Structure 1
Amino acid sequence: MEKPKMTWIDSLKGIAICGIVMVHSDTLGLPWLLEKIGDAGKCGVQLFFLLSSYLTFVSLEHYFNTKTSSRAISFHHLIPWWAGKFIRLIPLYYLALFIYALFLGGSSYWLGTQEHITAQNVLAHLFFLHGLFPHYADSIIGVEWYLGTLAIFYLLAPYLYKIINSLEKSAAFFLLSAFLCRILSHFIYRIFPEGKDSYIYSAYAGTFNFFAQFPVLIAGIMLYFLFQGQLLEKITRPKLISYVLLVFASVMIAGQAFGQNSLFLISSETLFGLWFFLIAISQKICPLIWTDNKLWGLLGKYSYPIYLFHFFILAIYDKMNIPATGSALLDWCIKYVAALLASLAVSVILTKGFDRPMVERLKRML
């Protein structure tokens, strides 16, 4: 059974959101090393998927333990669990959809030849179905493809919980999915026509579609079963093992960022998920001060609203025409820190003043 508070989870979320804001802060034009580091920030989404999957199985364990027959729950009995999950997503997500559509007109880059947000697009977003359509997946907020994939996982998670009931099964699922989902993603790309929107179809097949992220989600399930057992508690030198895992995984992430981006049939997304899997284990064994502290924890606590609204903050910053300092690096640092702090401030206000009251109101309506 998990402890009530696991600060390392919020801290890892904080690190992930810093990477995501970094890549969206436009690192092009920076010195080569910093440009590569900035571009690697996009892999923070895989860390979100890993932790979300792990926490979803923890949630299912708690939910099923309140029922008379664990792992034997009907569709009808699963509705409250699904409702609870989506209710926590809806208020801030719907607010973000409204703000981005009204003030920014959506993400024109990912709309492609569709050019405008259609009624069908909006409906798909409202029902979390946008992840099923390449032109919708990331077309309003610019980062909502993550929620489209997460929503599908939430729907499947209770059934995966019934099927995958051991560490061995989760490992087998991971190994199979790592190869099969890469092949499937290739075939998904092949069904779309060549043309002006090829970049959208390529991104959808390689990143935005559910199967591209499925192995990472399964890695989160592996974490759940690994942490359930007594294996980690038998480690006699936890701090040393934690350091070794953290350093090794960090070197592997750097290798992907600066060099090889995939391994035969295993995608870069899956590999990033695997390295984050090792980092999560290291933090579970022995959280380290520079990876688990109050700063990362604060950012992680508000990582969801920061994720949703940081693009809007960056758009406002760009329209302010802040005078250049003459140094591309300094200009970027100012933009990045300002966007991160402003996004955090907005997130705290929205969470306390809007999200929590709305979530409670929606819960009472059930």
Structure 2
Amino acid sequence: MPEDKGNREQDKLQFVDTLRALAILGVLLVHVSQHVDGLSGWLQKGLGLGAKGVALFYMASAFTLFLSMSRRSSDKGEGMTAYLLRRFFRIAPLYYVMLGIYLMVNGTGSRFWLGDQEGVTATNIAAHVLFLNGLNPYWINSIIGVEWSIAVECMFYLIIPLLFKLIRSVRHATWFIVMMLVASFGLNTVFAQYPLISDPSLWGHYLYLWFPNQLPVFGLGILLFFIWKDERHWKSVNPLTGGLLLVAVLFAFVGGITDYLIGVGLLLGAYALYHWQPMWLLNQVWSWIGRLSYSMYLTHMLVLGLIAQIKLPFAPLVSLTLMFIMTLLCTVGLSWLTYTWIEQPGIRLGKKLISRIKTVREQEDSVKESVA
């Protein structure tokens, strides 16, 4: 019986892997399209939506973090130290390796994300190592080219324990989304008028990427968790909660916050994926890509940099298709290696450290009880 229950639980969670798989494919598609000349304007705009795959990553992350904390909340041995170690060893080993590789391949010279700075400094690298690069517009995305989202995610990790205590229902999640949406809109409006750096283009990009602007999307992932946890939560959406959601959508529409509107669409799509369980999206292939998605996210820019050197003598759409297939296949192959030899060993190391700390604490508690 426990095994059957575990299998049912795993089946219910398979849609999360698919969300991650769809997210990384969207990210790959938009980055590949940036290396293909001659694409029509409407196609470029449509492909640009692939960048919203990061929102899917955030939603999946918020969902799984709340799920993990709800499962471990009854374990007295699971303190803040264990939580932070688990998060660190989930992302840091592969991230650090890739930071080194990208620095060796691309050097430390000038680039768009450095603005008027001459190159990548030791302070910049140190900020990346400490996951603090998101605090500086010159550092947030200046080494790998996609690390901004990791910096944002790490900031979210720090507040998750507090959010887990405060947000206990659909109503709470809705209030959180509305408040963060208003706060991010207000902060962006103010800081857009008072830039802190001389490059207006870079400052605009930074205000889009920084943590406050992404926080409402994490809120949508928390809302998804409570809906998944008990579908009766849909029925518990009273007029006040429903009204708040409607006000948030209208506010986003009037304020031109299209990313939030897209996020709401992604939330509905994620729930539909879970609710209807389409086999063509929920299968071992999608699950496998979803498990590789973090490795793919960090390695694909390296792969694309090599494939972009190939000049394909075809129509733009054909070139896009071929380049995407080549990038996908090479990225999957490289990511399988990094997943197997770096990502998974890092996770296992984190678990061993947590287990060792837990054992030591249990022994200390046992000694204290025997003395008492």
TM-score, reference length from structure 1? 0.84
Task: Identify the match of residue 85 of structure 1 among 84, 87, 90.
Answer: 87
2: distance between equivalents of 1:101 and 1:139? Answer: 10
Report the residue type matching 1:202 in the other structure: G
Given the superposition, is the C-alpha separation of residues 86 and 325 from structure 1 closer, same or farther in structure 2, using an over 3 Å criterion? Answer: same
Query: 1:258-308 CA deviation, whole Å, 9 max, x = no partner?
Result: xxxx62226222222211110111112112134333333222110101111
Task: Identify the match of residue 120 of structure 2 among 92, 117, 127.
Answer: 117
What residue number does 1:222 align with? 223
Contact in 2 for aligned 1:232/1:285 (Cα 8 Å)? no
Contact in 2 for aligned 1:94/1:126 (Cα 8 Å)? yes
What residue number does 2:348 align with? 360
What residue number does 2:30 align with? 23
Given the superposition, is the C-alpha separation of residues 267 and 28 from structure 1 closer, same or farther in structure 2, using an over 3 Å criterion? Answer: farther
Given the superposition, is the C-alpha separation of residues 53 and 28 from structure 1 closer, same or farther in structure 2, using an over 3 Å criterion? Answer: farther
Given the superposition, is the C-alpha separation of residues 53 and 363 from structure 1 closer, same or farther in structure 2, using an over 3 Å criterion? Answer: same
2: distance between equivalents of 1:28 and 1:177? Answer: 38
What residue number does 1:61 align with? 70
1:52 aligned onto 2:53: no
Report the residue type matching 2:29 in the other structure: M
1:186 aligned onto 2:189: yes
Gaps of 5+ in 1: 235-261
1: distance between equivalents of 2:323 and 2:21? Answer: 18
2: distance between equivalents of 1:344 and 1:334? Answer: 15
Report the residue type matching 1:3 in the other structure: E
Contact in 2 for aligned 1:186/1:205 (Cα 8 Å)? no
1:172 aligned onto 2:175: yes
2: distance between equivalents of 1:100 and 1:278? Answer: 37
Counting only pairs closer than 5 Å after superposition, residues 279-298 of structure 1 correspond to structure 2 as: 279-298=269-288
Contact in 1 for aligned 2:59/2:217 (Cα 8 Å)? yes
Given the superposition, is the C-alpha separation of residues 173 and 24 from structure 1 closer, same or farther in structure 2, using an over 3 Å criterion? Answer: same
1:327 aligned onto 2:285: no
What residue number does 1:241 align with? none
Task: Identify the match of residue 3 of structure 1 among 1, 9, 23.
Answer: 9
Given the superposition, is the C-alpha separation of residues 163 and 233 from structure 1 closer, same or farther in structure 2, using an over 3 Å criterion? Answer: closer
Contact in 2 for aligned 1:97/1:141 (Cα 8 Å)? yes
Contact in 2 for aligned 1:179/1:265 (Cα 8 Å)? no
Deviates more, 1:103-112 or 1:1-10: 1-10
Given the superposition, is the C-alpha separation of residues 4 and 291 from structure 1 closer, same or farther in structure 2, using an over 3 Å criterion? Answer: closer
1:34 positional shift: 2.7
1:361 positional shift: 3.2
1:345 aligned onto 2:354: no
Q: Counterpart of 1:97 in 2: which secondary structure?
A: helix
1:161 positional shift: 0.7
Contact in 1 for aligned 2:24/2:293 (Cα 8 Å)? yes
Task: Identify the match of residue 163 of structure 2 among 156, 160, 164.
Answer: 160
What residue number does 2:253 align with? 263
2: distance between equivalents of 1:313 and 1:92? Answer: 16
1:57 positional shift: 0.5
Q: Counterpart of 1:3 in 2: which secondary structure?
A: helix
Given the superposition, is the C-alpha separation of residues 311 and 52 from structure 1 closer, same or farther in structure 2, using an over 3 Å criterion? Answer: same
Contact in 2 for aligned 1:63/1:81 (Cα 8 Å)? no
Give the percent of matched residue pairs that are identical in Structure 1 and Structure 2: 29
1:326 positional shift: 3.1
2: distance between equivalents of 1:214 and 1:150? Answer: 9
What residue number does 1:212 align with? 213
1: distance between equivalents of 2:189 and 2:180? Answer: 14
1:39 positional shift: 1.0
1:100 positional shift: 0.7
Task: Identify the match of residue 303 of structure 1 among 283, 293, 301.
Answer: 293
Given the superposition, is the C-alpha separation of residues 33 and 160 from structure 1 closer, same or farther in structure 2, using an over 3 Å criterion? Answer: same
Contact in 2 for aligned 1:12/1:291 (Cα 8 Å)? no
Contact in 1 for aligned 2:170/2:233 (Cα 8 Å)? no
Gaps of 5+ in 2: 236-251, 355-372
Report the residue type matching 2:332 in the other structure: L
1: distance between equivalents of 2:70 and 2:297? Answer: 27
Q: Counterpart of 1:326 in 2: which secondary structure?
A: coil
1:108 aligned onto 2:111: yes
Report the residue type matching 2:255 in the other structure: L
2: distance between equivalents of 1:355 and 1:13? Answer: 16
Given the superposition, is the C-alpha separation of residues 287 and 233 from structure 1 closer, same or farther in structure 2, using an over 3 Å criterion? Answer: farther
Q: Counterpart of 2:141 in 1: which secondary structure?
A: coil
Q: Counterpart of 1:176 in 2: which secondary structure?
A: helix
Q: Counterpart of 1:338 in 2: which secondary structure?
A: helix
TM-score, reference length from structure 2? 0.82
Report the residue type matching 2:270 in the other structure: A
2: distance between equivalents of 1:18 and 1:98? Answer: 25
1:126 positional shift: 0.5
2: distance between equivalents of 1:297 and 1:33? Answer: 31
